[in-house]
Amino acid sequence: MDAQMWEQRWAEGRIGFHQQTVTPQLEQHWPGLGVPAGARVFVPLAGKSLDMVWLVEHGHPVLGVELSQLAIDQFFAERGLQPDVHESAYGVHHVAGHYELIRGDVFDLDLAGLGGCAAVFDRAALIALPADERPRYARLFDDLAPGTRGLVITLDYDQSRMDGPPFSVPEHEVDRLYAPAWQVDRLERSVSEPEPRLARAGLTELATTTYALAHH
- Which pLDDT band, with edges at 50, 70 and 90, does 32 fall under? very high
Read off φ and ψ for residue 173, nearest 5 degrees.
-75, -40
Q: What is the average pLDDT value for the chain, to the nearest integer?
A: 91
Task: Provide the whole-model pTM.
Answer: 0.92
Residue 93 has pLDDT above 60, yes or no: yes
Q: If you write DSSP's letter for every residue of 25-78 in order, what string do you get? A: HHHHHGGGG-PPTT--EEEES-TT-HHHHHHHHTT--EEEEES-HHHHHHHHHH
- Mean pLDDT confidence for 28-37: 96
Q: What is the pLDDT of residues 123-152, one digit of tens each?
A: 989 999 999 999 999 999 998 999 999 999
Pairing mode, if any, of strands 149-156 and 119-122? parallel
